[in-house]
């Protein structure tokens, strides 16, 4: 297991008091090792879970050549021998009811979409382009006639294995199972899948001023909102969230909560108590409980951040100490914690998509730090995107997150943005 010390000592530009977002992300990523444990679950229960192993196709899909259209199946060689083509219709192949014998030269069978292509045939002509005469044949069979130019030999046939050939990788390990994947696995006859066990994340809020819902709000106190946002973010990520409540700003209480979290979870996420003044006593405490670095990340909101690993009684857990301000909590979570928890769970990286949008307003921005503004993005008449920052951008203004539908991401080097200039936008849909 790598240590934080060993990772950061390799970085020539590691300055914990001015850490670029990308460097902090890279340090975190290099310390995360996926959990190994897996379990087998019935197919439906795999939705949203992470595949522990790649899935190989145990059969061809489709299993055999079949018709892509309703029409008539015949041997494409007939197209070269006469024009118009005339074929005797000797039977029917419908889905689930294949034509049982070989179709002789000069003959065809009526065929429905999905029905097996009978032996002796390799082409389907669609029913709309043929003329059919019933019972004009000596044996009472129907005859179809069509111009040779209306169909190519081999047309309108889905070939065995063209969706998934036997033995091919149908889904990779680390894939988060989507609705389409459930269907794909079902098409392969797979009823159970091996998935990683869910990541367990313990979380708590710190602060003497925090009150839980239902408690009276004395002067100077605030309701603990972070624990609810955190619950929502963790739940949406598909991890098992363990709520450890509100912890007072006392070393003993904090130590007890960290010990509890480390014993019960793979990661511990806290909010509050990492700002300059608070960090001093948590720093001393963390030095005893594991290896944790206190950073000032070059970002706004969300500057103070603590990251490392707790190690207690032979068990370890990743530690993420987020700032207390409610918007900073969310921005720090999506910037640092989300990807780390996905990786811990064994998921392949899936970075949230970024759009380019024209900013309707001029934006003040200092180069040398990343800034995350709350915005409302919309698609305008010409199909391009436009974004407007929601009013006040203070890191305590949580309503800005609810009113926004995206974050405007201004990178480390970026300076002021003129009205009408293009900016990067991360939509909450798909992220949150």
Cβ distance to ligand AMP smaller for residue 273 or 290: 273
Q: According to the binding rule CB under 5 A, does residue 323 interact with Mg ion?
A: no
Nearer to ligand AMP, 234 or 344 (CB): 234
Instruction: Put residue 214 in one of left, alpha, beta given phi > 0 → left and psi -120 to 50 → alpha.
Output: left
Please state the closest distance from residue 282 (CB atom) to ligand AMP, in A.
10
CB of 221 to ligand AMP, least distance (A): 9
Complex with ligand AMP: residue 20 or 302, whichever CB lies closer: 302
Q: Is residue 272 part of the contact set for Mg ion (CB under 5 A)?
A: yes
The span from the CA of 220 to the CA of 210, in Å, is 9
Cβ proximity to ligand AMP: between 160 and 398 the closer is: 398
| Nearest residue relative to ligand AMP (C-beta) | 324
Taking the least distance from each CB to ligand AMP, the nearer of 123 and 293 is: 293
Which range, of 95-103, 121-129, 265-273, 368-376, touches Mg ion by CB under 5 A? 265-273
> Mask of contacts with Mg ion, 45-84, x by CB under 5 A?
----------------------------------------
Interface with Mg ion (CB under 5 A), residue total 3
Q: Which is nearer to ligand AMP, 325 or 400 (CB)?
A: 325
Distance of closest approach, residue 290 Cβ to ligand AMP, in angstroms: 21
Residue 46 C-beta: closest distance to ligand AMP, Å: 34
Q: How far is the CB of 292 from Mg ion (least distance, A)?
A: 17
Residue 161, binding choice from ligand AMP, Mg ion, none, Cβ under 5 to 8 Å by partner class: none
Closest to Mg ion by CB, 93 vs 206, is: 206
CB of 205 to Mg ion, least distance (A): 9
List the one residue out of 269, 272, 274 whose CA is nearest residue 242: 269
Judged by beta carbon, residue 273 or residue 308, the one nearer ligand AMP is 273
**To the nearest whole angstrom, how small is the minimum distance from the Cβ of residue 304 to ligand AMP?**
7
The binding site for ligand AMP (CB under 6 A) comprises 205, 207, 209-210, 222, 224-227, 271-273, 275, 278, 323-326, 396
* Secondary structure, 3-state, the chain: CCCHHHHHHCCCCCCCCCECHHHHHHHHHHHCCCCCCEEEEEHHHHCCCEECCCEECCCCECCCCEECCCEEEECCCHHHHCCCEEEEEEEEEECCECCCCCCCCCEEEEECCCCECCCCCCEEEEHHHCEEECCCCCCCCEEEEECHHHCCCCCCEECCCCCECCCCEEECCCCECCHHHHHHHHHCCCCEEEEECCCEEEEEEECCCEECCCCCCCCCCEECCHHHHHHHHHHHHCCEEEEEEEECCCHHHHHHHHHHHHHHCCEEEEECCCCHHHHHHHHHHHHHHEEEEEEEECEECCCEEEEEEEEECCEEEEEEEECCCHHHHHHHHHHHHHHHHHHHCCCCCCCCCEEEEEECCCECCCCCCEEEEEEEEEECCCCCEEEEECCCCCCCCCHHHHHCCEEEEECCCCCCECCCCEEEEEECCCCC
Q: Is residue 207 involved in binding Mg ion (CB under 5 A)?
A: yes
Least Cβ distance, residue 340 to Mg ion (angstroms): 23
Which partner from the list Mg ion, ligand AMP, none does 326 bind, CB cut-off 5 to 8 Å by kind? ligand AMP
Partner from Mg ion, ligand AMP, none binding residue 23, C-beta < 5-8 Å depending on class = none
Binding site for Mg ion (CB under 5 A): 207, 272, 324
């Amino acid at each position: 297991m790598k240590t934080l010390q060993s990772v950061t000592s390799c970085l020539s530009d590691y300055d914990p008091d001015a850490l670029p977002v990308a460097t902090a992300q890279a340090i975190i990523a290099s310390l995360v090792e996926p959990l190994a444990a897996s379990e087998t679950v019935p197919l439906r229960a795999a939705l949203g879970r992470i595949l522990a192993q790649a899935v190989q196709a145990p059969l061809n899909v489709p299993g055999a050549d079949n018709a892509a259209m309703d029409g008539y199946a015949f041997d494409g060689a007939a197209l070269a021998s006469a024009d118009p083509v005339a074929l005797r219709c000797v039977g029917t192949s419908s889905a689930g009811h294949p034509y049982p014998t070989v179709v002789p030269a000069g003959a065809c069978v009526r065929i429905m979409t999905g029905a097996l292509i009978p032996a002796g045939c390799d082409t389907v002509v669609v029913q709309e382009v043929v003329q059919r005469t019933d019972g004009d044949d000596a044996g009472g069979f129907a005859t179809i006639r069509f111009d040779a130019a209306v169909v190519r030999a081999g047309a309108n046939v889905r070939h065995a294995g063209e969706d998934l050939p036997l033995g091919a990788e149908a889904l990779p390990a680390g894939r988060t199972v989507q609705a389409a994947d459930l269907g794909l696995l079902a098409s392969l006859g797979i009823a159970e899948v091996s998935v990683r066990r869910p990541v367990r994340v313990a979380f708590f809020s710190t602060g003497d001023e925090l009150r839980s819902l239902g408690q009276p709000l004395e002067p100077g106190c605030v309701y603990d909102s972070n624990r609810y946002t955190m619950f929502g973010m963790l739940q949406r990520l598909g991890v098992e969230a363990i709520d450890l409540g509100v912890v007072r700003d006392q070393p003993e209480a904090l130590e007890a909560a960290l010990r509890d979290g480390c014993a019960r979870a793979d990661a511990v996420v806290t909010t509050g108590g990492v700002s300059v003044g608070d960090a001093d006593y948590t720093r001393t405490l963390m030095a005893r409980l594991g290896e944790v670095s206190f950073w000032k990340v070059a970002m706004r909101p969300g500057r103070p951040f603590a990251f490392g690993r707790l190690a207690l009684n032979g068990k370890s857990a990743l530690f993420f100490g987020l700032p207390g301000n409610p918007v900073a909590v969310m921005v720090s979570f999506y910037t640092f914690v989300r990807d780390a928890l996905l990786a811990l769970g064994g998921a392949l990286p899936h970075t949230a998509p970024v759009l380019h949008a024209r900013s309707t307003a001029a934006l003040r921005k200092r180069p040398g730090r990343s800034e995350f503004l709350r915005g409302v993005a919309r698609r305008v008449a010409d199909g391009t995107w436009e974004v407007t920052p929601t009013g006040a951008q203070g890191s305590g203004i949580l309503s800005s997150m609810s009113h926004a539908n995206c974050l405007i991401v201004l990178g480390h080097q970026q300076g002021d943005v003129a009205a009408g200039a293009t900016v990067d936008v991360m939509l909450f849909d798909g992220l949150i």
